[in-house]
Amino acid sequence: MNLLYGLAYILAAPALGGLTVGLDRIITARMQGRVGPPLLQPFYDVAKLFEKEKAVVARSQNLFVLAYVVFMAFTGMLFFSGGDFLLVIFALTLSHIFLVLGAYSANSPYSFIGAERELIQIMAFEPMILLAASGMYLVTKSFYISDIVRTQVPLVLLLPGLFLGLLYVLPIKLRKSPFDLSTSHHAHQEIVKGITTEFSGSTLGRVEIAHWYETVLLLGFVYLFFSFNPLLALIAVALTYVLELFIDNNYTRFKWALALKSAWLVALVLGMGNIALLWYYMKGL
């Protein structure tokens, strides 16, 4: 069954991710007093990208972007098939490294700066998600997603600091304000788009599909905190995404130094603090 869940992710995640992005655009438009595009607009955009003439600055870009998509899909499959959480985090980081290499392969200052900022964002996100995995291990005695998702212990009540910390760093991977430093999926960065500046046509289309895969994966991280009640977990996932949209539309972009320092500070205070209190509590038992 775990393998079937992983295969289902491979097939269904692009559709679910694309629909989520479509809802993202509609809700964002409503928050800004606009009508917004139709729900299926992300699929129309990607289809149009694949119809465009193939043009790359460096041939290696295609290889790196393909590796980015494959490893992103593999990361999600590993997660939804109940694999090791630490291996999921490693594979997620590796997939973004391939995107960074694709940006570095183009001789463009905007692409280069975008790649540098993507590395900074990886450094900002990693500590919090590693602490979240460690906290779940303390409660469930396992790093395997299959064990964590089956636990009847309300993780969100035992790991509130880690959950709040995850909410803080989640916009980094969703590429939303205040952490849309390396690139963005909104119109205000369409001309100079950071790490994806030199990607076009089908190459850029693959990057968008990888983003759909990642969106579903990230929402899966949120689901784990509420997995003791599947219905509540789905509601929490939906509310979390709406909250991220609210933050995206009400906060300006941080500078890279502030983004890095604030993410590490949150990981230290909320993450390490929560784990220390949990360890002390469990030791007392």
Tens of pLDDT, residue by residue over 74-120, are: 999 999 999 999 999 999 999 999 999 999 988 888 888 889 999 99
Q: Per-residue confidence at 285, pLDDT binned at 50, 70, 90?
A: low
Q: Per-residue confidence at 36, pLDDT binned at 50, 70, 90?
A: confident
Q: Per-residue confidence at 188, pLDDT binned at 50, 70, 90?
A: low
Average pLDDT estimate for 180-208: 77
Note the pTM of the prediction, 2 decimals.
0.92
Average pLDDT estimate for 215-231: 96
Burial class (CB in 10 A: 0-12, 13-18, 19+), 265: exposed
pLDDT for position 56: 75
Whether the predicted pLDDT of 284 surpasses 70:
no
Whether the predicted pLDDT of 195 surpasses 90:
no
Mean pLDDT score of the chain, rounded to an integer? 91
Distance between CA atoms of 260 and 200, rounded to whole angstroms?
29
Is 193 in a helix, a strand, or coil? coil
Give residue-wise pLDDT tens across range 138-178: 999 999 999 999 999 999 999 999 999 999 999 999 989 89
Minimum mean pLDDT range among 55-59, 145-149, 230-234, 246-250: 55-59
pLDDT for position 59: 80
